[in-house]
Structure formats: structure tokens, C-alpha cells
Amino acid sequence: MKRILKITFAAVITISLIAVASVYALSERRLARTYDLAATDFTVRTTLSPEEAERRARTLMCGGCHHDAGNVLVEEPGVGRIIAPNLTRFAPMYSDAELVRLIRHGVKKDGTGVFIMPASNFANIADDDMAAIIAWLRSLKQLPDAVEGATQWGPLGRIGLALGKVPFEADLVPASVTPIAARPADIGEYAFRTDCSHCHNLDTEKRSEVLVAPALRPLAQSYSPADFKTLLRTGKAAGGRDLGLMTKVSQSDFNHFTDAEIDQIQAYLARQP
């Protein structure tokens, strides 16, 4: 009987080790997958002032995730520690064309893909806004990393990678992307496509692994123009309620929208279908 138990125990240990090794190997294969997408030439021409270039870059959420010198986006036991890298250190490693490929297509310098960074939204960024982002990135003084270490995956994160449950933005970007040349005079729909729709739907609640976001049309319809400006600038809901991620992004980035732009965004979101 003892011999049978020993054999059974050894078999269980062996199977477990094989399973762990398989998950690790499959997750590493997924992380190492490359995308055959060439970086195409992009000439940065902008007549914008440095201040306006930074303002536009921030309205497109660059600072909300990366902060001044890197930021911990996710830190969950078992899942992992996901870091948005220090742009002041990473941007100089990329050519302008490589930055465009990274931002619009979610493909890094080494050809592997990004996750979390919303390239599927940023594919819609106008050429003049893309030039503003790159000009702003090139102006940044290099800072030491604000957080130590790199992205690390825990066992649950590894299982998600192995099973294809971790979305990579390069898989979500349309095969053919034709950005507009210039930021529209009315940015309502443009802001929804480049910013808001990463987390929100217009008419239905949107659920993801990390958040539940309300539908934007009824929300925009329920706010006065003054309260909607407060929402975008402070991330505080009616009554001063903290909204977590929305609060952080608003205070870092959305507070750079002008009054006219916020009015345009609300008008688009609240418009009847």
C-alpha cells in the first residue's frame, strides 16, 4: 500500500511539474511572439508651440499611465506586476518611425507586442497629433526610473498568457490604418475614438479584467456642462465621489482639454443615436 502511495505521489508531482513547465513555456512563447510590421517613415513637422504639443500629448493619456518616469499599472498577487515604462528613458531608444509603429500598432522596437497600452485607439490619432506627441517626447529631460524592476508575471498571469487570455493590442489594430491629417476642429467623436472608447462603450456597460466602466451616453446626458467639466478635470463624479482610475487619468491628462473641447466631447457623447 505504501508503495502504491509513493508511486501515486511521484506521478502527481511529475504531472504537476510538466504542467508548470508547459505553462511557462507557452507563456514565454506568447511574450516572444513578433509581428511582421515594418516601421514606415514618419516626418515630424509641427508648428505647435512646445506647450501646445505637450497639452495635446497629455489629452491623449500619455501621462496617465506612464507618469513622469514610469508607473506600476497593475500589482495583483498571482497575476503579476505590470509596469508602464519610463518614457524619458525609452523614447530616445526609438526612431520616429518606430514610435509611430509602437503607438499606432502596438509593436515594440524588437517586434513584440504591447498589452494595456491602447494602440487600437491610438491608431486613430491624427498625423499632427502624432507629431505633437513625438515632439513632446523628444523634449523630455531624462529622469531616473520612478519604480524599480520590470514587468513580471505571476502564475495566474502566466496561465492567462498560455491560454491566450491576455489581449495584445497588435492583434486588435485594423490591418489597414489611414489616420486623418489633422486634429478635427470639433474633437467630440475624435476624443471618443482615441481616448474614451478604450474603457467605455457609448450605450452599454463595458467590463474588462480590471474594471467595469459605465455607458457614456446616459452619463453625459445626466451631467450639466459645468459638472461634466468638473468630471473631466478632476475625475470626481457628482457629489465628489472618487472614480479610481478615471480620477487619476482626469487629474493627469483630461484636465488639459479646453472648455470648448470638453463641450464638444459632451455634445458628441450625449447626442441621440
Taking only the tens of pLDDT, the chain with its 273 residues reads 666 666 665 666 767 777 788 899 999 999 999 999 888 888 777 789 999 999 999 999 888 889 999 999 889 999 999 999 999 999 999 999 999 999 999 999 999 999 888 999 999 999 999 999 999 999 999 999 999 989 999 999 999 999 999 999 999 998 777 889 999 999 999 999 999 998 899 999 988 766 788 999 999 999 999 999 999 999 888 788 888 888 888 998 999 999 999 999 999 999 987
**pLDDT the model gives residue 7:** 64
CA distance 227 to 221: 11
Instruction: State the greatest distance between any 2 C-alpha atoms of the chain, in Å, as a whole number.
Output: 83
**pLDDT the model gives residue 1:** 62
Is the pTM higher than 0.85? The answer reads yes
**pLDDT the model gives residue 236:** 86
- Measuring CA to CA, which residue among 44, 153, 46 is closest to residue 91? 44
**pLDDT the model gives residue 95:** 95
Q: Which residues pair with 83 in a beta bridge?
A: 72
Domain ranges, ordered by start, for the chain:
1-181, 184-273
Kindly give the pairing relationship between strand 206-207 and strand 80-84: unpaired
Kindly give the pairing relationship between strand 152-153 and strand 80-84: antiparallel
**pLDDT the model gives residue 30:** 95
**pLDDT the model gives residue 210:** 66
**pLDDT the model gives residue 2:** 63
Fold classified for 184-273: Cytochrome Bc1 Complex; Chain D, domain 2 (1.10.760)
